[in-house]
Amino acid sequence: MYKTLYKVTALTTLLLFAGVADAYGSLRCKGRFIEVGDSAAKVLELCGEPGNRVVTQVPVRQGTLVGFSRFAGFANSEQWVYSRGWGKFPVVLFIDDGHIQRIDHLPRRSSGDE
């Protein structure tokens, strides 16, 4: 009996933490999840315009036939910050080439949000 209880408890704990880890790398807007790989257009449609948007240009390198790389131009890299209201951590979306590359939840509100 105790072995079965232990197995059920261990499995429940594992599933609980797996769900938390999965939800942490996502953002929920209008009842739908925004995840890594989604398009910037989907984010704008569901979440609206971000509270802050930073656009930087990063150099792009391209591989050559002999194994070297060469400068191929610039690409826009964007960071969108969504302040989700009282009691919820702000979220930063890192967008390259029109798709989400990373989603970070800020640990606390920045001084500019107060």
The pLDDT tens digits for 13-48 are 444 443 333 445 778 888 889 999 999 999 999 999
Residue 25, domain extent: 2-113
Q: How much is the average pLDDT of 65-74?
A: 89
Number of domains in the chain: 1
Helices (H), 1-114: 2-24, 40-47
Q: Under a CB-based contact definition with an 8 Å cutoff, are residues 40 and 100 in contact?
A: yes
- Does the reported pTM lie above 0.85? no
Q: How much is the average pLDDT of 57-64?
A: 88
What's the DSSP call for residue 8?
Answer: H
